Amino acid sequence: MKFPPFTNADVIRRLNPDAKIIIMLRNPVSRLYSEYLYFREDGQSVEEFHNRVVSALYNMNDCFRKYSVRYCIYFMGTGPRLQIGFYHIYIEDFFRAFPREQVKILKLENYSQQINDTMIDVYRFLGLDKPPDEAMTRIENKRQANERDTEDKQTGDMLPKTRHMLAEFYKPWNEKLVQLIGEEFRY
């Protein structure tokens, strides 16, 4: 197969054509490192992450030379899951399956800074009334899930050279994301 015969978007559409889809995006470079820290393993370090990224980039670029981008994204696994950061591919799948007015795309960085406003926007998108102010306050003050814990903080931030490599790798794909959904999603 050169591409999947159907995607998650197709399955959801088949089960519920009136579904409202909410997609939250995060800078793909930060997302990848966060995932590495979340699935903690022995020997975890910024150097180990760098080595895994170098290997994954080599494998992904090799796949691109042989196959289509969609093939590599859907059928190739890499150590760190680079393919998840190809947001435009997955969003295109949802735009093919659903009218755009049924798809809401949020930016995690905006949500983190403006929880109340983002949630009001989500309730409006879902056609729901805004909850009472005390409920909104509880939502806004709730501890964020998956915050970096002490062990993660001891690992430190990714190496600048790793961040640069990943930013360069994702750059053309992030441009496609901007073309698809707008300048607000420039990473």
Joined together, the tokens standing for residue 124 give 């409006």
Whether residue 50 has pLDDT greater than 90 = yes
How far is residue 4 from each of residues 7, 16, 90, 93, 180, measured CA to CA in Å?
6, 20, 12, 11, 21
Paired residues of 24 in beta bridges: 106
Q: pLDDT-derived band of residue 24, with 50, 70 and 90 as boundaries?
A: very high
Q: What is the mean pLDDT of residues 30-57?
A: 90
Whether residue 86 has pLDDT greater than 80 = yes
Helix (H, G, I), strand (E, B) or coil at 149: coil
Joined together, the tokens standing for residue 171 give 């750059």
Whether residue 85 has pLDDT greater than 70 = yes
Rounded Cα gap, residues 79 and 82, in angstroms: 8
Rounded Cα gap, residues 129 and 136, in angstroms: 12
For residue 118, being part of any structural domain is answered with no
Q: What is the mean pLDDT of residues 24-44?
A: 89
Give the list of residues 6+ apart from residue 159 with CB closer than 8 angstroms, or none. 46, 47, 49, 50
Distance between alpha carbon 17 and the CA centroid of its chain, in Å?
A: 23
Structural domain range at position 31: 8-106+157-177+181-185
Whether residue 20 has pLDDT greater than 80 = yes
For residue 59, being part of any structural domain is answered with yes
What total number of domains does the chain contain?
A: 1
**Would you tell me the crossing angle of helices 87-97 and 8-15 to the nearest 10 degrees?**
30
Which pLDDT score, from 0 to 100, does residue 146 have?
60
For residue 149, being part of any structural domain is answered with no
For residue 131, being part of any structural domain is answered with no
pTM exceeds 0.85: yes
Q: What is the mean pLDDT of residues 7-21?
A: 97
Contact 170/58 with Cβ under 8 angstroms? no
Mean pLDDT of the chain: 91
For residue 151, being part of any structural domain is answered with no
Joined together, the tokens standing for residue 146 give 């998956």
Q: Which of 123, 6, 146, 169 is nearest to 74 (CA)?
A: 6
Q: What is the mean pLDDT of residues 139-154?
A: 67
Whether residue 143 has pLDDT greater than 80 = no
How far is residue 85 from each of residues 46, 101, 113, measured CA to CA in Å?
20, 23, 22
